[in-house]
Structure 1
Amino acid sequence: MSEESEELTHTTEEGDVQMVDVGAKPDTARRAVARGEIRLQAATIAAIRDDEIGKGDVLATARVGAVQAVKHTWETIPMCHQIPITNVETVFDVREDRVVLDVAVETTGKTGCEMEALQGVTTGLNVVWDMVKAAEKNADGQYPGTAIEGVEVVSKEKRALE
């Protein structure tokens, strides 16, 4: 590890938590993509595909939740900067036993947007769970096969403004 990477940027020398000062950094175009998935029963997947979930359109609702989460990340993650979101893309891949969600976030500013992408993925998948929970519960009211997994940042880009 380099000496610079060993520094704790969110704490002072006294151990107090602080927001990182990015004021001197130049504005750059940034993009981050995060991905995650929710494992579901085959019958639930079929109901999503056929728009037969009683609460409504699962993916449309999850898309709105993901975008809202991206826009409000700074309010829920301590020390996260409020950044201008210039674009959010959500892509759902409905497979045989899971729904995969990719969220791409773009901004022009002084700090990255990977936390926003991660927040979009986790909230979008939580919305899917909320929309299908009646179909996923077993006789005891539990969710033995339902799981959100594999949440990760799959890419992060930064380029100078033209």
Structure 2
Amino acid sequence: MTATPAAAPEPADPPPGGLTHLDSSGAARMVDVTRKDVTARTARATGRVLVTPEVVALLRGEGLPKGDALATARIAGIMGAKRTPDLVPLCHPLALSGVTVDLEVTDEAVAITATVRTTDRTGVEMEALTAVSVAALTVVDMVKAVDKAATITDIRVETKTGGKSGDWHRDSASAATGASPGDREAAPRTPLGPRTALVVTASNRAAAGVYPDRGGPLIAEALRSWGFATEGPQVVPDGAPVEAALRAAVAAGYGVVVTTGGTGLTPTDLTPEATRAVLDREIPGVAEAIRAEGLGAVPSAALSRGLAGVAGTTLVVNLPGSTGGVRDGLAVLERWLPHAVDQIHGGDHRPAPARTGAGTHPEPGTSGSAETAGSPS
């Protein structure tokens, strides 16, 4: 009697630390994420397209032969993120809850930043990288008639949040591994600057996907309307993750970081403590003005413990978690935010509007600067 051949065993998982997309025999496979938890996840990637001064001038003046290169590249990047599983064969199809692609023209390049969000079983780093890559390819396509040598460079993941492995930030990873100047972690960074902003939402429940973040998108929309290249909202749990997000943002060189949530009196409301640990200088008048803005309609606005201040060259402002508190805070920020950012980066005081009547003389040392008109400087 002929024995029935035994079924070939299933290839074993790779050993710990191995490549997860290869089984023990070296064959490519799609990782099974069935047993992973569904959590809120974000990823941010950056890249640059090096271009000539002529292209920079055309981009700033909207004079390229093919039209608005930046708007076209932005839409292409968003489309690229959504089509990632079609381009990267072992990437899981995910329901993306948000994709933002921002492009900033510097003196030598177009800097691209993509932030992708989902609530699912696996991360969105590949979607963020694809968004940057497709946006960069589109920039090259739009400018090649003027600059055939346009070069795509420095595409990389900067941060990821959520999942079993937790949060990861390129700056903290470099510090933890003791990266030397010759390491790839020390490669030139995508330039950030005064007109860049990050929104951070501090909420245990929003980070766990219990409910959607509503305040963060309001802040991001306002910052973009004021001319800031804005990323986020980056949703993190309360407490230590907020401090980690702030430190990474300061190290990355954002001009502005606005947080929402975690400013009240519950045991988990620790955003002010996380912020104070990062700040070099506080700006008490800003926090007071934000509280005062809402007091007339909502007396409990007095319970907000939010702070504002400067860390390095980054302006950090805490807003409450409620959408009403966010709107009150934005009404305050709109009045002086660009001026404050300009001063942090060495700008002079703006002349105060002329006023008449008693009590209009500038205080000693102000020389009629914007401080006499209640500027937060």
- Scaled by the length of structure 1, the TM-score of the pair is 0.89
- Select the residue among 145, 159, 164 that pairs with 1:155: 159
Offset at residue 6 of structure 1 (A): 1.8
Is the Cα contact below 8 Å between 2:15 and 2:24 reproduced in 1? no
2:12 is the alignment partner of 1:12: no
Equivalence for 1:106: 117
- Select the residue among 124, 132, 155 that pairs with 1:121: 132
Is the Cα contact below 8 Å between 2:49 and 2:136 reproduced in 1? yes
Offset at residue 8 of structure 1 (A): 3.1
* Residue aligned with 2:78, SS: helix
- Distance change >3 Å, CA 15–CA 4, structure 1 → 2: closer
2:43 is the alignment partner of 1:39: no
- Scaled by the length of structure 2, the TM-score of the pair is 0.39
The 5 A counterparts of 1:29-108 are 29-108=40-119
Distance 2:19 2:52 in 1: 43
Q: Tell me the percent identity.
A: 36
Q: How many residues align?
A: 153
Distance 1:41 1:5 in 2: 46
Offset at residue 128 of structure 1 (A): 0.3
* Residue aligned with 2:41, SS: strand
Higher RCO (Cα < 8 Å, 6 or more apart):
1
CA-based RMSD: 1.4
* Residue aligned with 1:9, SS: coil
Distance 1:115 1:134 in 2: 30
Distance 1:4 1:108 in 2: 28
Distance 1:153 1:15 in 2: 26
Please list every run of 5 or more consecutive structure 1 residues that lacks an aligned counterpart in the other structure: 138-142
Paired AA for residue 34 in structure 2: G
Distance 1:41 1:58 in 2: 15
Distance 1:67 1:105 in 2: 9
Offset at residue 16 of structure 1 (A): 2.0
- Distance change >3 Å, CA 49–CA 11, structure 1 → 2: same
Please list every run of 5 or more consecutive structure 2 residues that lacks an aligned counterpart in the other structure: 1-13, 163-206, 211-377
* Residue aligned with 1:125, SS: helix
* Residue aligned with 1:7, SS: coil
Distance 2:85 2:157 in 1: 18
Runs of 4+ in 1 over 4 A off after TM superposition: none
Distance 2:89 2:21 in 1: 10
Distance 1:76 1:91 in 2: 22
Structure number, greater radius of gyration: 2
Offset at residue 14 of structure 1 (A): 2.6
Offset at residue 4 of structure 1 (A): 6.1
Distance 1:25 1:106 in 2: 17
Distance 2:65 2:56 in 1: 14
Equivalence for 2:295: none
Between Structure 1 and Structure 2, the one with more strand by share is 1
